[in-house]
Amino acid sequence: MKTRVAGSKTKTPPASMLYRQRFRVSYSYPVHFTSGLFNRGNTVLDTVFRAFPETPRRVLVYVDDGLASAWPTLIPDIQAWFRARPEAMELVRDPEIVPGGERTKNGWNVVQAIMSTIGAAHLCRHSYVMALGGGSVLDMVGFAASLVHRGIRMIRVPSTVLAQCDAGVGVKTGMDEHGMKNFAGTFAPPAAVLVDFEFLKTLSAKYRVGGVSEAIKVAMIKDAVFFKDLCRSARRIAAGDNRLLADAVRRSAILHLEHIRTGGDPFEFGAARPLDFGHWAAHHLEILSHYRLGHGQAVSIGLALDTCYAHREGLVSRAERDALLRLLESLGLPTWDPVLELADGTGYPVVLKGIEVFREHLGGQLSITLPDGIGRKREVHTVDMAVMRECMDWLKRRVAVIERDPT
């Protein structure tokens, strides 16, 4: 029997109900290309800080240890800059040096220390964390900053080729965990990016040319003219031409930015990730080599491998494949490494397991970006492992021939 409440009608609740929540959030951040950020007369930093809305503005600064030792006056220069402009931004405490290189993304001690410092300095969501360094330091400091108060604003000052032309301008942070590159990470667009070409002058050859592989990656799938220009300038870049290097960095950074803005999937909900062309192998090669191969070198091998595969699949002509290989080689970048030969107990190359790891990381159906000619791309959803193995063997033979006769 139904109970009636006096004065009310009996109402059966609906079995289910849908309220469709929908909103958009738009992002905008400046990316400045400059030289000598902290030099007297350079107004970029001033302009950027003054455009930030709320005052007082407060910042904590973290500096990559490799950058700090290559530029011994950098920290005093930063301190002097802030001392001279107390109204632009308050430097909450002296800049702190953090470990540079991939090791900084392995382990949580520094992340926790940064979070504690942010807490002790009472930074709020309207404050800033500024990181100067390579892609690894930007990933690690950015990760820490993105966690506190669900995200403190981040100012990035990338200081390697790779960080300036790719890692530093995008929307992601990452930590290596669970035996995987970037297993943990966040989407956290920066408040500003300040690219200072001066910093490139002190890079070792490994990191000077290594980062160019990301420029080649994006040129190969998006911009045939840029690819041609890189082919023309590669030898001079490798020989130390900083003007050509800066030009390549700027064009690559803009192509990455354009992709994030217009690609339709800035936060990577889909399964396709064109900017990760060559990366299923690259990430695995870094791990298998215990990071002897830098990210740039590993990407170079990944590009070589996937372009050979694209040739076998009829997407890339022999001439186009060879142009890519010659471009990598003329920069002194590797196209093969003995780590490709590491095999499991059944003789299966361990690197090929990177394809499944990559699929799992992206989620959904396997989606690998391959070049479709030069300057265009195509997604493929299956990979013929036998053909991929043949490509690895072919690259090994090619490298052996070049080593015997470098002319």
Ligand X SMILES: NC(=O)c1ccc[n+]([C@@H]2O[C@H](COP(=O)([O-])OP(=O)(O)OC[C@H]3O[C@@H](n4cnc5c(N)ncnc54)[C@H](O)[C@@H]3O)[C@@H](O)[C@H]2O)c1
Q: Which residues are catalytic?
A: 172
The residues pairing with 195 across neighbouring beta strands, listed in sequence order, are: 33
Half-sphere exposure (Cβ direction) of 219: Cα atoms closer than 13 Å: 24
Q: Return the number of the residue (66 or 302) whose C-beta is nearest ligand X.
A: 66
The binding track of 50-69 with respect to ligand X, each residue x by CB under 6 A or -, is --------------xxxx--
**Could you tell me which residues come within 8 angstroms of residue 56 by beta carbon, excluding any fewer than 6 positions away?**
90
Phi and psi torsions of 106, nearest 5°? -105, 110
Which tokens go with 251? 């064009």
**Binding to ligand X, residues 119-148 (CB under 6 A):** 133-137, 139
Verify binding: residue 98, ligand X, rule CB under 6 A: no
Options 85-93, 257-265, 291-299, 380-388: segment touching ligand X (CB under 6 A): 291-299
Quick one: which of 81, 166, 259, 277 contacts ligand X (CB under 6 A)?
A: 166
268 binds ligand X (CB under 6 A): no
Q: Judged by CB under 6 A, does residue 306 bind ligand X?
A: no
Contact pick of 92, 114, 155, 167 for ligand X (by CB under 6 A)? 167
Neighbouring CB atoms inside 10 A of 80's CB total: 13
Question: By the 8 A CB rule, do 123 and 157 touch?
Answer: no
Residues in contact with 15: Cβ distance below 8 Å, sequence separation at least 6, in sequence order = none
Residue type, 5: V
174 binds ligand X (CB under 6 A): yes
In whole angstroms, give the CA distance from residue 203 to residue 99. 16
CA 17 from chain center: how many Å? 42
- Minimum distance from CB of 97 to ligand X (Å)? 10
User: Which of 163, 209, 316, 340 touches ligand X (CB under 6 A)?
Assistant: 163
**Exactly one of 37, 60, 105, 323 binds ligand X (CB under 6 A); which one?**
105
Cα(first)–Cα(last) distance of the chain, in Å? 96
Residues in the site for ligand X, rule: CB under 6 A?
A: 64-67, 70, 100-102, 105, 133-137, 139, 159-160, 162-163, 166-167, 170, 172, 174, 181-182, 199, 202-203, 207, 210-211, 294-296
